[in-house]
Amino acid sequence: MNLRSSALIASTLLAGCVFTDDANQTGGDFLQEHGAAVRSADSGVFDLPVVSVEAVPLEGVPSMHGTGPILLGSMGSDSTRLVVGFDLQDTTRRNAILLRGKDSLKYLRLLAYEATQGLTVRARFFHLGTARDINALPALFAGLDSTDLAKDGADAVLIPAKADSEYVLPALATGESTYLGMPGAVVERLASALKDKTGWFVAILDTRTSGSDAKARFAGVTLVDRDTASTSAVDTAATLSLGVYEDYSGWRSIGLRPKGASSRVVGLWPSGGSRLRIGFDPEYLRSQMRTTFGVNRDTVGGFDHTFNILQARAKAQFASVKAEGTDPHGFVIASTVIIDSGLDKQNAPKQPNEKNYELPVNISPKTIIECGLDTVPSIFFSWAPGGFLVEVKLDKVTSSLPTQYSLATGSYSTQTVTKFFLPLNARLEFRVAAFVRVRIWADRNWAYAKWWTIGRLPVSDAQYRDEDSTRREAMFWNGQLTTEQEVRTPLTQLLNHWRTVEWEIAPRTSADPSDRFIAVPEDTTTVFETVRLKARTLAGGSN
Amino acid sequence: MRKVISFVVVACAAGFAQSPRNIMGWGDEVAPADAVSRGMGEAGAAIRSDKSWDPRLEARSAYNTLAAFEVQIAPQLVWVDDDATSNSLSGSRLPRLSLSVPMGRFGHLGIGYWQRFQRTFEWAPENDSSIALRAEGGAFEGVLGYSVVVPGVRNLALGVTYHRFLGTDRVFQEEKRQFPDEYYPVVIRDSVSNRYWGGQASVSAYWTKGDIDAGFWVDLPGEVELTTERGATSQVFPEPEPRTVDAPQSMGVSGAWRFAPKQTAVALLSRTEWDPDALSSTDGKNPRWDVGAGWQYAMGGDRFDDYFKRMTFRAGLSGSVGGPQSLLSESATLGAGMPLGSMGTLDLSLQIGQNEVDDGGPKLKDSFVRLYVAITGASLWGRSQRSRR
């Protein structure tokens, strides 16, 4: 082989050679100094700089009245009210043969869905005699008291039965019935109304056993003439079944907190629930972290990219936790990044029969396109005792908007209409699209709609310990008052100071619509006490 | 030529593992020296040649007589040291490709690719396998040059070169953390990417007479649009906005002296100044000074002599001090030129040296052994077989 060939082969071999191509491990300090963060995570515990806490309705909990077992009971100081309504005009709901010429119904019959505990209840009876009176029906279904309606000048449309009676419901086996004998005045009023076939008859049952955890679930509630001792759901005696209101059976179980108790709780009731929305001061947290980790600010284009948070666990201490059953309950932490917001308002209808007032939610055309909507969502307000009947119309949206105040939904070609009863000054929040949330409220002068466009889907951080189980520390059960929630995902963006970031802590919803849960934070002004972070500075910090 | 292409393909398949120093500035800057100059301390930009081309000193090529295609590949072994640890790396680089086309009395046209900056490196902590830092790419130059012997002054040539900066580099970091009480690991990714786009012209002059050759070049002011884009898990960054910075501007002189029939001495001195806005850190010395000196011994045999007698041997020293940031580099070279065919050459240059970062921060020194393998294919384009003879 001549020298030329040897040179060629040697150079080719050398050019392709690779001696040791493991990643280099030398020069970490040098890289760190030149802005390539190569340190492992650092950790620290920080105060959470809370600037706002508010309770908002639990989103997406189906709470249409007339679905699931009928519930009545109490849990700690909270209770579940049962409102049942009978449509006296609806002849299909009555046992027509026996009621003909014999219009006296004396008992409220409660048929046990399962073995129930004994309860002491307070019962109130109302007759809504005219079409104008029936306007108060949504308010009663929403849990408003007649006194609240009276404050709103609605007492003229309500006709109390002038009876407020206390009853002891015995413990029942599954399928057993108990009968509440109604006072004479009520029976007389009902008989008269049945004869005329006018209006609705409403019974409101509240528990008297505050402080206990008793509850009863019923398969059905009917008005009957006498005790037939029947174990069948269909009485052979004179009977009137629950009415139908907005396509749903006329009953509602409503979660109530005692008067004067804080509304800042994490709750799950058959009629909906409550979540806590918490806003933070990012600058304070940022400065704490800089001090603890000993690093300087790193900003690019006005954004702060000093830290990337690998793990964040926020600790909350609760004063009381009441939960249905013995199984631990999980929480979810939803996080929201606010991109934009706006407030729209319109005159509110001030009296009955006033025309619908339309309040468009003026989100931008760009957002409308991004959401897949055709036009801006429209909200129509009409007057009702104690509040407003509200319709939300959405184009190109097929799902309804279930909230604790939903009455009914309907679809008309490409349009979905959801009906609500909105109590006076109550706030109702729902999402008209995945990235647009809307809050409405109204007083007697103005109706408001505030909207937010959201930059991140409010999906909870996984609280998994392993593939199939939730971290025990992130769960609640009776007596367990401390929880540590994994909330890392939005926290980095909070530090970016890009937008307002909110955490929303809510109970995991249960498959059983009668499950109840209430957790009262020890400090309702902060909810979370501290956050334990593992963080590191960003690669290329000074690049 | 087929052999040359095969060689390039094989060479390009080599791995790229470079020093963490490449994170500084725009990356590791590669000298554009031609095949002959590599063996002479990269200082032979002015040595008279019939086929060499230097993107800085285009004017020299006005005297070229051969059309030449040159490929350089440089496998290297690098020892990286800091205060605590050391490690060895290997890889290769492809510093330049060029085509030199003499056009007789119409002058000379040179076109080339110059991998001027290299960001490439990999790094991982010694005791933590969860973190990996990786960088790749770099800004390179597409170069187009034209030179001509000044009519009436046959010893003087002038040249102009246009440098087009382009390319992208990226630094990636990935950290994977598994917390003991969670099933899913957390993976955080960060990246910093730079895009370069800009142009710069330079002018050069070359004078040759008897045993003395000398060249001078200077870069004219140019601008580079630099777009830095950052990304990281769970972080939101503003839209990247390009910023315009001055291109690094250099000027230099080089000379060659044939002090004996077969021996030549060469020297080079250049100065490169950086726009402080072009660098993330303005620490360090600016400008940078490069200096080199070398020697060549050409055996001078013709095609009928033994192969050894047709070879050329070279040696040299080079050094630099200054920016971006504070680098101190020294190297020594040994080279050999071997004829390939009737006009081509294979030039091997072994370079041994070290780079030290001297900016008052953590120490980093990389010592390297680099073998520049340059193949130059040459031909007499545009001339008949008869005239070639």
Q: Is residue A36 part of a domain?
A: no
Q: Between A25, A31, A542, which is nearest B85 by CB?
A: A25
Pair (A83, A226) in one structural domain = yes
Longest CA–CA span in chain A (Å) reads: 127
Total domains present in chain B? 1
Specify whether A154 is located in the same domain as A300.
no
Of A445, A480, A501, the residue at which a domain comes to its end is A445
pLDDT of residue A459: 59
Q: Does residue A6 belong to the interface with chain B, where contact is any CB pair within 8 Å?
A: no
Considering its fold, how many domains does chain A have in total?
3
Same domain, A310 and A376: no
Residues of chain B contacting residue A21, judged by C-beta atoms under 8 Å apart: 15, 17, 89-91
Domain shared by A185 and A306, yes or no? no
Measure the CA angle with vertex B354, ends B349 and B360; round to 5°. 155
In a domain, A62, yes or no: no
Residue B59's identity, in one-letter code, is: A
Best CA proximity match to A271, nearest among A423, A52, A390? A423
C-alpha distances out from residue A149 to A52, A139, A348, B154, Å: 31, 8, 17, 109
Alpha-carbon distance B107 to nearest alpha carbon in chain A (angstroms): 33
Q: What is the dihedral of CA A57, A62, A65, A67, to 10 degrees?
A: -150
Model confidence at B111, pLDDT cuts 50, 70, 90, reads very high
- % of chain B residues with pLDDT over 70: 91
Q: In this complex, do B123 and A31 lie within 8 Å of one another by their Cβ atoms?
A: yes
Contact assessment for residue A489 and residue A497, using Cβ atoms and an 8 Å cutoff: no
Cβ-contact A159, A128 below 8 angstroms? yes
The reply to whether A542 touches chain B by the CB within 8 Å rule is yes
Give the span between the Cα atoms of B218 and A469, in whole angstroms: 69
Cα–Cα distance for residue pair B89/A24, rounded to 1 Å: 7
Find the CATH number of the domain harbouring B254: 2.40.160.60
Q: Using CB atoms within 10 A of its CB, is residue B338 exposed (0-12), middle (13-18) or buried (19+)?
A: buried
Residue with tokens 């071999």: A13
Segment B7-35 shows an average pLDDT of 73
Q: Which domain holds residue B53?
A: 2-388
Shared domain for A85 and A219, answered yes or no, is yes
Check if the beta carbon of residue A418 is closer than 8 Å to that of residue A246: no
DSSP-derived secondary structure for A340-365: EEEEEEEEPP-STTPPPEEEE----H
ipTM: 0.88
Nearest C-alpha of chain B: how many angstroms from A529?
21
Q: Please give the structure tokens belonging to residue B11.
A: 């060479």
User: Tokens 């498959």 map to which residue?
Assistant: A511
Are B10 and A4 an interchain contact pair (Cβ–Cβ within 8 Å)?
no
Beta A50-57 vs A272-280: how paired, if at all?
antiparallel
Of the residues A219, A249, A279, which one is the last residue of a structural domain?
A249
Kindly state the average pLDDT of the residues B21-48: 93
Average pLDDT over residues B294-315: 90
**Phi-psi domain of B146 (left: phi exceeds 0; alpha: psi -120 through 50; beta: other):** beta
Amino acid symbol at A482: T
Residues A77, A153 share a domain: yes
B2 versus A315: which is more confidently predicted?
A315
Residue B128: closest C-alpha in chain A = A40
**Whether A50 and A78 share a structural domain:** no
Domain residues for the domain of A361 are 344-433+440-445
A367 neighbors A342 (Cβ within 8 angstroms): no
What is the reported pLDDT for B9? 41
Chain B residues lying within 8 Å of A466, measured CB to CB: 183
Q: A520 and A463, same structural domain?
A: yes
Helix (H) or strand (E) holding A4: helix A3-15
Nearest to B343 by CA among B296, B316, B370, B375: B375
**Are residues A209 and A106 both part of a single domain?**
yes
Specify the length of chain B in residues.
Answer: 389
Tens digits of residue pLDDT in B247-301: 999 999 999 999 999 999 999 999 999 988 887 765 666 889 999 999 999 998 8
- What's residue A7's pLDDT? 47
Do A212 and A132 share a structural domain?
A: yes
* Orientation of helix A3-15 relative to helix B2-12, angle to 10°: 30
Which token pair is A200? 């609705």
The larger pLDDT score, comparing residue B148 to residue B327, is at B148
3-state secondary structure of A73: strand
Does residue A21 lie in a domain region?
Answer: no
Q: Yes or no: say if A368 and A406 are a contact pair by the CB < 8 Å rule.
A: no
Residue-level pLDDT at B389:
47
Give me the numbers of helices (H) and strands (E) for chain A, helices first please.
Answer: 10, 33
The residues, ordered by sequence, that sit 6+ positions from A472 with a Cβ below 8 Å of its Cβ are A328, A465
Residues paired with residue A207 on neighbouring β-strands, in sequence order: A121
Question: Can you list the alpha helix ranges (DSSP code H) found in A294-337?
Answer: none
Over residues B161-207, the pLDDT tens digits come to 999 999 999 998 888 877 766 677 778 888 889 999 999 999 999 99
CA nearest neighbour of A241 among A56, A351, A417, A105: A105
What is the residue whose two structure tokens read 């139908």? A244
The answer to whether residues A233 and A100 belong to one domain is yes
Residues in chain A: 543
Per-residue pLDDT at B291: 97
Q: Which of B19, B23, B179 lies closest to A34 in CB terms?
A: B23
Lowest-pLDDT choice from B49-53, B82-86, B93-97, B385-389: B385-389
In the numeric block, which tokens belong to residue A497?
Answer: 């100071």
- Among candidate residues A198, A215, A249, the one where a domain is terminated: A249
Q: Is B63 a residue whose pLDDT tops 90? A: yes
B373 inside 8 A of chain A by CB: yes
Per-residue confidence (pLDDT) for residue A17, from 0 to 100 = 43
What sign results for the dihedral spanned by CA atoms A288, A294, A295, A297? positive
Residue in chain B nearest A499 by alpha carbon: B236
Q: Is residue A113 part of a domain?
A: yes
> For the whole model, what pTM was predicted?
0.73
Closest alpha carbon to B1 in B95, B70, B78: B70
pLDDT tens track for A5-57: 554 444 444 444 434 456 688 888 888 888 777 776 778 888 888 889 999 88
Q: Tell me which chain B residue has its CA closest to the CA of residue A541.
A: B192
Higher pLDDT, B15 or B247: B247
Chain B touched by A42 (CB under 8 Å): no
In a domain, A505, yes or no: yes
Identify the segments of chain A with pLDDT beneath 70.
1-23, 40, 60-67, 96-103, 151-164, 209-211, 226-237, 325-326, 397-400, 402-404, 408-414, 456-460, 466-468, 478, 489, 498, 510-511, 513, 539-543
Q: How far apart are CA B224 and CA B163, in angstroms?
A: 11
Contact A36 B23 (CB under 8 A): yes
Cα–Cα–Cα angle for A185, A188, A193, rounded to 5 degrees: 125
Tell me how far apart the alpha carbons of residues A108 and A533 are, in angstroms, rounded to a whole number. 58
Residues A208 and A236 in one domain: yes
Nearest to A464 among B11, B183, B362 (CB): B183
CA distances from B91 to B29, B136, B163, B331, B369 (A): 16, 13, 27, 18, 11
